[in-house]
Structure 1
Amino acid sequence: MMRSMYSAISGLKNHQTKMDVIGNNIANVNTYGFKKGRVVFKDALYQTMKTGSAPQDNRGGTNSMSIGLGMSLGSIDTINTPGSSQSTGKNTDLCISGNGYFIVQSGHEMLYTRSGAFDFDETGNFYALGNGALVLGWMADPNNNWNINTDDKGNPVPINIGGLSSLAPQASTAMNFTGNLDSSSADSAIVPTSKVVYDSLGNEHTIYFQFTKTAVPNEWECRISAEPDFSTSIVTGTDPIPMEFDTSGRLVSPTGVDVELSGISGAEDIDIDIDFSSITQYKGESTAWASYCDGYTSGDLRSISIDETGTIKGTFSNGQIRDLGMVALATFQNPAGLTNMGGSLFQVSSNSGDPNIGLPGNEDRGVLIPSNLEMSNVDLSEEFVDMITTQRGFQANSRVITTSDQMLEELVNLKR
């Protein structure tokens, strides 16, 4: 009878532990990135009353007899099934669709989380709301054409865009023309157009173009100048430029010319390659124009967005878009082995395996869903059923104790 009491006590204690886990799950039903816990029981030691024997001398064998001494906790597991995504409308919120954890740095410690409630602080740090941990990834290099070097995937750095808030100007170097010159135009018909270009300081300059139909069939002339009256030429070579088309209306020569704007105060000369190869000569309206020209003035960072690959894109006041950085993800051989640190943060343990750090969407890492957060994976209906069975298990064990006590009372009362 004493064994039954102590067995029941172990049941009471461990059912209380299970109830604690259920209560924590329910408390975090609306916690972003939360992963529910699960309690697994196992039976405890057994006291052997009689060992078994093998068959012999035309007699069958006998089984051993033993009495269990209660139960104990087998494990408290973290269930890493993904939660559903919830749209937030906040462009810095991120949800992982698939495997992986965000990598954050708290002090000098590297931690991991599924909660993607992030934002940028006043100094440009990309950080986790609530605990201030810095989100890790890779940064763009403005001195290397804004490339993001992810070759060293094992060493992500804190994402900080404070030094990438301005974009230096870029001088124009290339221009492309498109459109049509009317083949039925009268001799000496003029088609004017112009295009804005930029010098090395970001100053705007206008280049003027004038296409003139000649008396020779399928031939036009083009004059290029920095003055609207075409008083000076900026063409490197013959001016005006003879433009010859074939009988199919395609430009034969020249397909391109070089122009140079020199003598600009404080800035370098502008040297531009102009591509005329897309201009045609068909019957119809004359629409020849410079459809593209590179170069831009300086700009300040105006807005930020993050795509499904974790690339942080910045839009500048001059209309340019640049990749500023990229968010890193880590996967583990045994994510259930991570140590829960609280605050939706996890730490590497000896049983989780080392982190496999890389780009979102690569290998077994999931892609990101911008402007969404991952909900808790707690199922309330499941938790309530577990609560009922846990309560009944606790009641049953307490009834064993009261029944054992009554039996002891009857034994004591044998002598009055």
Structure 2
Amino acid sequence: MSINSAMLAGVSGLVANASALASISDNIANVNTVAYKRNQTNFSSVVTAQAVPGHYSAGGTQAITRQLVSTQGLIQTANSATDIAINGDGFFVVTNKGLGLADSDQRLFTRSGSFSVDANGYLVNDAKLYLQGWPVEDGVATPDPSDLTSMQPINVKSLGTAVAPTSLVQLTASLFKNQTVSAGEAAYDPTVTPTTSMAQYADDIANNAVVTGTKPDFTMEMSITDSSGGTHKVALAVLKGATPNEWHAEVYAVPATDVTGGASPGLIGEGKIMFTSNGDFDPVNSGGFFANLSGSMTPSFSLGNSATGAAPKWATSLGLSDQTITLDLSKLSQVVEASQLKSVNSDGAGVGNVIAVQVDDQGFVSAIFDNKQVRKIAQIGLATFPNPDGLKPSSGNTYSSAIPAGVMVAKAPGTAGAGVISPSSLEASTVDLSQEFTGLITTQKAYSASSKIITTADQMLDELIQMKR
């Protein structure tokens, strides 16, 4: 009967508009939720079979609600270095736990990048979900596009300490051109008589022994950081030679017991330093240890830790790894003024602890140590889908895989169509309050109109019943 179908159509209108109201309510409630994607309720007509010619049966309507996941939210500046946003396609991969994560544990996807470091050092967002990333080894991450289990929860406190062994030392100094040639220079020849070395002199003085070595004219000391973060002292001693613009030079450890294997106690290398007529360092004519090695102005020395390592080498008792140190002498000069050491610049750094975390636009999470070292920990992976709107919504502003979304592919940020990471930023909700309030008005009116259908149909049925009386 047409009146019955009209009443049922009114009921379908009530149900559909109630769904629309629920959708709008969710949107308004989440207007400030980071990276929230608004719901949209569309209406679809229902057509029934018209069995009797001339009689129309109403079918009504049904509500179809979907979340507009693929809509990009506004990227806004945030105060925290661990707040990150995705500008473009992709989702952060997150899990419900960090420690003890198994391959069978569910991986979820989210755009909510309000991450912070928890008490255990993991990066978690406001929903307490753990951010996943590819571990970095030797500064390189290895993304796997199809296996999410290759990602691990990112932890910034399980790194221990950072040490940067010295690999380069640059000396800026001037030597006195008119330095008087010492009486001991004539007998100085450590390659033939090791006891005449300047290293021997330093060791004799340090041990209050009878002095047999040659006293240097000038000594420059530098600090060396070893592989364990310890600090050692190394000296560059020079002695004016009888030949113009020539200086004898030695590098030795202080104390001498830090190294073994040298001809003299603590001796690491010896040779001569030459200067041009205008006082510049002359790497071509410098000789011995300070010769122009492989076309470079920077001689280097290696300190090993084994019998097959370099000689001299670190003392075995120190238990240190092999280390090669480049000595940059390009800023040495010879002038008519007293010798002076102006600066020593070294790239080494001792033991350091994590004091901050940063994320770059390629998704690399790095730990910053208080010794100024920066170490990459992991690279954030972004999961992409052919149809993001087909993902299944979950609590915590997350989504799970679903067949309509298509096959997931994990990508490094900014590659193969994946979005880029915006550090110190957050993606805003896509909810527009003016649009939602307008929707409230139209939904309320539609709901009222549907109720009128039911009351009108009810009145008509009453009229029909009254015909019997």
Length-normalised TM-score, structure 2: 0.72
Alignment of 1:12-411 (within 5 A): 12-48=14-50, 68-106=58-96, 108-130=105-127, 132-141=128-137, 145=138, 147-150=140-143, 154=147, 155-167=150-162, 169=163, 171-172=165-166, 174-177=167-170, 179=172, 181=174, 185-188=177-180, 192-211=219-238, 216-227=243-254, 234-238=267-271, 241-245=272-276, 249=280, 251-252=283-284, 253=286, 254-255=291-292, 256-258=299-301, 260=312, 262-263=314-315, 265-268=317-320, 272-276=324-328, 278-279=330-331, 281=333, 289-294=343-348, 296-411=349-464
Amino acid of the residue matched to residue 235 of structure 2?
Y
Greater Cα offset, 283-292 or 16-25: 283-292
Distance in 1 separating the partners of 2:145 and 2:50: 59
Per-residue Cα deviation, 1:302-342 (whole angstroms, up to 9, x for no partner): 32222222222112343322112222211111111111112
Cα distance between partner residues in 1 of 2:87 and 2:248: 59
SS in 1 for 2:367: strand
**Change over 3 Å in CA distance of 1:25–1:269 after alignment to 2:** closer
Secondary structure (helix, strand or coil) at the match of 1:30 reads coil
Distance in 1 between residues matched to 2:12 and 2:76, nearest whole Å: 41
Deviations 1:152-174 (A, max 9, x none): 7622122234431323x5654x3
Q: Is the 8 A contact 1:194 1:208 kept in 2?
A: yes
| Range with greater deviation from structure 2 (317-326 or 213-222) | 213-222
Between the two proteins, the alignment pairs up a number of residues equal to 393
Please state whether the residue corresponding to 1:258 is helix, strand or coil.
strand
- Shift of residue 99, structure 1, vs aligned partner: 1.5
Tell me how far apart the structure 2 counterparts of residues 176 and 136 of structure 1 sit (CA, whole Å): 39
- Cα distance change of structure 1 residues 309 and 284 upon mapping to structure 2, 3 Å threshold: farther
Q: Which residue of 2 aligns with 1:55?
A: none
- In the alignment, residue 87 of structure 2 is paired with which amino acid? S
Distance across 2 between alignment mates of 1:247 and 1:160: 56
Following superposition, the deviation at residue 395 of structure 1 comes to 1.9
For the residues of structure 1 that align with 2:336 and 2:395, how far apart are their CA atoms? 71
1:98, distance to aligned residue in structure 2 (A)? 1.7
Deviation at 1:409, TM superposition (A): 3.8
- Larger helix share, 1 or 2: 2
Give 1:129 shift. Answer: 3.2
Check whether the contact 1:337–1:352 (CA below 8 A) recurs between aligned residues: yes
Q: Which amino acid in structure 2 is aligned with residue 40 of structure 1?
A: N
Between 1:313-322 and 1:28-37, the stretch displaced more is: 313-322
* Cα distance change of structure 1 residues 415 and 122 upon mapping to structure 2, 3 Å threshold: closer
Residues 105 and 177 (structure 1), Cα distance of their counterparts in 2 relative to 1, 3 Å cut: same
Give, in whole Å, the separation in 2 of the partners of 1:293 and 1:24: 55
AA matched with 1:133: L
Q: Following the alignment from structure 1 to structure 2, what is the Cα–Cα distance between the partners of residues 221 and 289? A: 21
How far the C-alpha of 1:198 sits from its partner, in A, is: 2.6
Partner of 1:54: none
- Percent identity between matched residues is 27
For 1:3, which of 2, 5, 9 is the aligned residue?
5
**Distance apart, 1:262 and its partner CA:** 4.7
Distance 1:334 1:100, change over 3 A: same
Contact 1:329–1:360 (CA under 8 A) maintained in structure 2: yes
Shift of 1:410: 4.0
Alignment CA distance shift 1:153-1:234 (3 Å):
farther
| Secondary structure of the corresponding residue to residue 33 of structure 1 | coil
Superposition deviation, residue 41 in structure 1? 0.8
Does the 8 A contact of 2:250 with 2:270 survive in 1? no
Checking the alignment, whether the CA contact within 8 Å between 1:177 and 1:288 is kept in structure 2 is: no
Higher mean Cα deviation, 259-268 or 8-17? Answer: 259-268
Cα offset, 1:13, TM superposition:
1.3
The question of whether the paired residues in 2 share the 8 Å contact of 1:208 and 1:226 is answered with yes
Quote the offset at 1:39 in angstroms.
Answer: 0.8
How far apart, CA to CA, are the structure 1 residues paired with 2:427 and 2:224? 47
SS of equivalent residue, structure 1 residue 164: coil
Change (3 A) 1:227 1:176: closer
Q: 1:146 offset after TM fit, Å?
A: 5.8
8 Å contact 2:145–2:411 — kept in the other structure? no
Whether the 8 Å CA contact 1:104–1:110 is kept in 2: the answer is: yes
Report if aligned partners of 1:30, 1:375 keep a CA contact under 8 Å in 2: yes
300 and 69 in structure 1: CA distance in 2 versus 1, 3 angstrom threshold: same
* Structure 1 letter corresponding to 2:301: D
The alpha-carbon deviation at position 6 of structure 1 amounts to 1.8
**RMSD over aligned Cα atoms:** 3.5
| Residues 87-115 of structure 1: per-residue CA shift (max 9 Å, x gap) | 44223222222221111122611111111
Change (3 A) 1:266 1:213: closer
Conservation of the 8 A alpha-carbon contact between 2:40 and 2:67: yes
The answer to whether the 8 A contact 2:172-2:343 is kept is yes
Note the residue ranges of structure 2 that are not aligned, 5 or more in a row: 98-104, 182-216, 257-263, 293-298, 303-311
The offset of 1:399, in angstroms, is: 2.2
How far does residue 350 in structure 1 lie from its aligned partner after superposition? 1.2
Match of 2:261 in 1: none
Contact 1:212–1:221 (Cα < 8 Å) also in 2 = yes
- Tell me, in whole angstroms, the C-alpha distance in 2 between the residues paired with 1:188 and 1:219: 12
Which whole-Å CA distance do the structure 2 matches of 1:412 and 1:94 have between them? 67
